Amino acid sequence: MRLVPSSLRRRGGLIVAGAVALVVAAVAALTLNTGTAAATWKTLAGTPTCDCVLRDSASNTYRAVFGYVSTASSAGTIAAGDNNRIELIGGSTRRTTHTVTTRFEPGVHKGTFATGWISRDTTVTWRVGGKTVVAAWTKPTCGKDVSLPAGGNGTGPLAALVVAGAVAAFVLWRKRRRAA
């Protein structure tokens, strides 16, 4: 009795099996948190900041850019929710797209997240760990010392791996069909 199926003994089968193993390993690496665990905080050891705003005078909208200063000696997390949220006050904007910072490393961190476009007459408040910071159209405009956070929701690499897996499965299916 052989332990290795005949399909895997052929060169093509080995290549496909290797590709599938690579995809599985990459997906696992992307989805599993292999870093050190951070403490869960209820209060922020430091201060949230509104670093600046990006203005679009043509549409009278702006994006608020937030950061923080952590005086803690180690990293911590504050989950998004009641203790870590954005509030829009006044104005005509009712919702905005954003992902609040949830992991807080020691030190000064500018531009950790930004809101979507908000009407000029709306004030944005970030409430995190018992602290509050307010952003408005009148805040200073972002300079070269603030790099904006990357856009997107972080699922791009995962989507690419899923597509690669689908292509590998299609190639394997087509190869088996031709062999039959």
3-state secondary structure of 117: coil
- Its pTM stands at 0.62
Q: Provide the residue range defining the domain that includes 106.
A: 39-135
Q: What is the tens place of the pLDDT at every residue in 20-31?
A: 777 877 776 666
Q: Are residues 91 and 50 in the same domain?
A: yes
Rounded CA gap, 24 and 171, in Å?
17
Residue 113 within any structural domain of the chain: yes
The answer to whether residue 4 sits within a structural domain is no
Residue 112 is assigned to a structural domain of this protein: yes
pLDDT of res. 96:
80
Q: Is residue 157 part of a domain?
A: yes
- Is the domain of 63 the same as that of 131? yes
Are the C-beta atoms of 65 and 55 separated by less than 8 Å? Answer: no
- Other C-beta atoms closer than 10 Å to the C-beta of 172 total 18
In a domain, 148, yes or no: no
Q: Check whether residue 112 and residue 158 sit in a common domain.
A: no
The string of DSSP codes covering 51-106 is EEEEEETTTTEEEEEEEEEE--SS-EE--SBTTEEEEEESSS----------EE-S
Asked if residue 9 is part of any domain, the answer here is no
Take residue 120 and report the two structure tokens written for it: 């000029």
Instruction: Examine the domain organization and report whether 53 and 118 are in the same domain.
Output: yes
162 with 121, same domain? no
Q: Is 117 in the same domain as 170?
A: no
Asked if the structure places residue 6 within a domain, the reply is no
CA distances from 96 to 43, 101, 114, 140, 173 (A): 25, 15, 10, 20, 44
69 and 104 fall within a common domain: yes
119 shares its domain with 171: no
Residues of the chain falling short of pLDDT 50: 152-154
Mean of per-residue pLDDT scores for the chain: 81
Q: Is residue 131 located within the same domain as residue 161?
A: no
Per-residue model confidence as pLDDT tens digits over 98-137: 889 999 999 999 899 999 999 999 999 999 999 999 999 9
Q: Which candidate, 14, 164, 45, 39, places its Cα nearest to that of 109?
A: 45
| Same domain as 94, residue 44 | yes
Q: Are 77 and 45 spatial neighbours (Cβ–Cβ below 8 Å)?
A: no
Asked if residue 5 belongs to a domain, the reply is no
Number of domain units in the chain: 2
Six-digit token string for 163: 């597509």
